[in-house]
Structure formats: C-alpha cells, structure tokens
Structure 1
Amino acid sequence: MNNFDPNQREIIVDGGLNKFLAKMYGFMAGAVAVSALVAYLATAVFQTQFMTFFAMNRWALWGLFILQIVLVFGMSFKADRSPVATATMLFIYAALEGIFFGILVQAYTAQNITMAFVAAAADFVVLAFLGTNTKKDLSGIGRQAMAALIALIVVSVINLFLGSTVIQFFFSFIGVLIFSVLTAWDSQRFKQMYLQYGNSLNPTNLALMGALQLYLDFINLFIQLLNIFTGLNGRD
C-alpha cells in the first residue's frame, strides 16, 4: 500500500528551494558588504597608502582588472568545484571590486552615493522578488536585455574617447532598465536551475554562482544610478 502524500513532496521541494534562495541572496549580500568594507577602508582609513601605492604602480589596476575577469570566468565555467573554492573566488572578486569603488566614489558626494545605494537596493529587492515569484517566462526579455547590454558596452567604450557627459547621463537610464530586467531574469533563471539540476549539482555551489550574477546586476545598477543622481545634483 502506497501512503506517499504528494503534498509532502511539495513541502520538501519548497523547503529546499527556500534554503537555496536564502543562500544565494545571503552570499550576494555578503559580497556587497565586502565591497563596501574594502571601499571604506580604501577611502577613509588607508587613503594615503592606497593612493600612493597606485600612483607608484600604475599597472596594478590593470592587473586587478584582469584578475577579476579570470575570477568571473573561473566561477562561471566549472559548476562542480568545491563550494569553498567558489566562495573564496566570489569574495576575492568582491574585495577587488571594493578597491575600484574606493577610487570611483572619491569623485562623488556622500549624498549621491547614499541615494544611489538606497535606490539600487530598493530596485534590486523588488525585481528579485518579482523574478523569483512570477509565473511568466522571462528568458525572452532577458536575452533581449543581454543584447542591449552588449550595445551599451560598445557605446560606453566609444564614449571613453568622446568624453560626453550627456551621452553618459542618457545611457545611464537605459543601463538601469537593462540591469533591472537582468536582476529579475537571473533570479528566475537560478531558481529554475535549482529545480532542474538541484539533485545533480551542489546546491551551495549553484547558489554561489547565482550570487555572483546578482552581485554584478546590483553593482551595475548602483553605478548607473550614481551617474543619474550625479547628473541631476551635480558633482562635488
């Protein structure tokens, strides 16, 4: 006699999914916290040493940038490695990003930084919630957002030579839209990946990979909003 209750299986699946999502968003929040801490230390505690080092070692920033790229690809293309190794790469990446933010935020006022962070956090929470809970398939609009992101990167590279603040300001609004869509899509995508591959992959490792994607979405949201608020309020 089979006494298996299908509702019991649904509870088990939902419980596992909730744990997975809690891990993914927890790792992502931890990575943001690491970046914020490193940026604070670089600008408020060790600013003199920080600026002196990079003034004397101009190629160091390029080395850190290349290392970031290596870490992102390393995390993305090997889903079966040890979660400890993946977590180490995630938080090293976040620390390196904090160094770049330590340089970036010096060009902006504390008010604009605070406004951009609060707005990015609110936007991220809403879009992540919608992406996780919506029944609508976001893969189509997600791929369109990825295509738009490539175009935005190309325009941004061209604008490095033009130096137009008007172009940068205008495309920051487009950037907010792109990364908002990507936040919702990535949230849904990794939820679906867990439901499909959760039994064959380490859930913690998958959560760390999702945390990286969501971290990148959040950081880019913050940067685009910082450009917008700075354009509206003016620089320091």
Structure 2
Amino acid sequence: MANWQDPQTTTGVNPAAATVGVPRAARDAGLRSYMLSVYNYMASGVLLTGIVAMLFAPYARDVLINQAGTGMSLMGWVIMLSPLAFVMVMSFGMHRMQTATLQLLFWAFATVMGLSMSTIFITYTGTSIAQTFFAVAAAFMGLSLWGYTTKKDLSGWGTFLIMGVVGLLVAMVINIFLKSPAMQLAISAIGVLIFAGLTAYDTQKIKSMYAYVAGTDMMGKVVIMGALNLYLDFVNMFTFLLSFMGNRE
C-alpha cells in the first residue's frame, strides 16, 4: 500500500462545506465518475504490467539472473528495486508534482513492475498463473465492492494492516537466510489475508476522500494515487496467492 497523505490534512477543505448546495444526485454521479476513474487507472496499470511481463519473459533469465545462475544480476536488482523507488517518489512528491507528471510516473511504475514480474512466466505454469489471476480478480472485485458499500467504518483496520505489512516484510527478509519452505508458505497465506483486508480498507478510504477533493486540483492526483494503492493491493495478493498455490515449471 502506498504511503500517501490524506488530503483532509493538506487541502484544508471541509467535506461538509465542499458539498453544500450540491444536489445529492449530482454528488452521487460525481462520486461514481471519480471511482470509475480510479478503477480504470488501476485496471490499465495491471494490464500494462501483464503485457510487459509477458513480452519480457523470454529475456528475463538472461537479464535478471547472474551468469552463475545463483542469484540476481546487478541489472536484476536495479529492476526489482525500481518499483519501490517509484512508489516513494509518487507518495512523498504528489503535492509538489503536476497531475500529468504523476500520471507519467504511474505508467512508468506499471512498466517497471512488468519487468520485475516477468520471472513468474519462467517459474510457474501458464495455467496456474491464469487460474490465480482470475481467482484474485474475482476476490478483488468482491472485497472492493464490499469496502465501497459497507456502512461499517474500516478506518480502524489501517494501523493493524500496516503493522501486518511491516511484519510480513521482516519475515520475508529473515526467510531469505532461513530458506524455510514452511515459513514461506505461512508468509504467502498471511500476505493474501493482509492484502485482502487492505483492498476493502483502501477502497473505503478512496471513496471517503472524494468529499475533500471534489472540484479541486487535487482530484486528479488523488485518483492516480488511489489507483496506485488498489494496484499494489491486487498485485501483492496475486503474487502471494501464486506463491501459495501456483504450480512450478
């Protein structure tokens, strides 16, 4: 999940004041358009990542793996770490950037993610990749729809889920040295659950931000960052589930 700031604390716009005098039908239509833009960006980013990953897969082993075949090459490490750099730049620089710049960075991020994820096509069978993708797509739609429609306040989930992500990262680093299959299986299962929760949480958060950014120049930026959040939830859920249930070549 991208660490981007809530416009409520940065724009100074009161959500009640922002919608005074606006008919309910118009607010609902605006919210639907706003959420549709978020989903369109997110889906387009996932599609771009998938296309790049498939096209780059035949060259992935030569580019990403060192000549000894024992680990990542220097270029491989650059490609693998680049998505994190893009997320940090977008998260901490969104308020200083133009919307067009943020949009360009989003597409660049999705492209680099495709390069870094290309190894799944030489690690797992095509059938298991497709099955996992459609399973995650169905789960994502259900969880996001629930996050959008539920009256339950999910804001309390945030701290718990973010702590879970941090714990997951620590466990993954430890397992690099332990190389424990059982621990890897547990990490994958917990990862799926954490990012499933984040999908619902982030959807509700993105929806709630509409009242703060409607009609402001922040709206385009929040749409892109919301799409980035949901993209990360989807891709991480897919990656962990594939690791958990995917059939290797």
Asked if TM exceeds 0.5, the reply is yes
Residue type at the aligned position of 1:136: K
Equivalence for 1:24: 38
Q: Does 1:177 align with 2:193?
A: yes
Aligned-residue offset at 1:107? 0.9
Which residue of the partner structure matches residue 5 of structure 2? Answer: none
Question: Does 1:168 find its partner at 2:187?
Answer: no
Q: State the alpha-carbon separation in 1 of the partners of residues 177 and 89 from structure 2.
A: 31
Deviation at 1:224, TM superposition (A): 1.1
Q: Tell me the residue number matched to 1:52.
A: 62
- Cα shift readout 1:71-101 (whole Å, capped 9, x = no counterpart): 1112112334222211111111111111111
Q: What residue is the counterpart of 1:62 in the other structure?
A: 77
Post-superposition CA distance 1:90-145 (Å, at most 9, x none): 11111111111112331111121111101110111011111111111101123211
The residue aligned with 1:229 is: 245
Q: How far did 1:59 drift?
A: 1.2
**1:109 match:** 125
What residue in structure 1 maps to residue 9 of structure 2? none
Correspondences of 1:28-107 after superposition (within 5 Å): 28-43=42-57, 47-48=58-59, 50-54=60-64, 55=66, 58-80=73-95, 81-107=97-123
Distance 1:28 1:53, change over 3 A: same
Count of residue pairs brought into register by the alignment: 224
**Aligned-partner residue type, residue 79 of structure 1:** M
- CA-based RMSD of the aligned residues comes to 2.0
Identity of aligned residues (%): 33
User: 8 Å contact 1:27–1:208 — kept in the other structure?
Assistant: yes
Which of 116, 128, 135 is the equivalent residue of 2:144? 128
- Cα distance 1:224–1:16, how it changes in 2: closer, same or farther (>3 A)? same
Q: CA deviation at 1:199?
A: 3.6
Aligned residues of 1:183 and 1:214 also touching (Cα < 8 A): yes
Distance 2:52 2:40 in 1: 18
Identify which range, 104-113 or 88-97, moves more after superposition. Answer: 104-113
Listed one character per residue, the Cα deviations across residues 142-166 of structure 1 (whole Å, up to 9, x for unaligned) are 3211111111111111011111112
Q: Deviation of residue 51 (structure 1)?
A: 3.6
Q: Indicate which of 141, 154, 158 corresponds to 2:157.
A: 141
Amino acid at match of 2:62: T
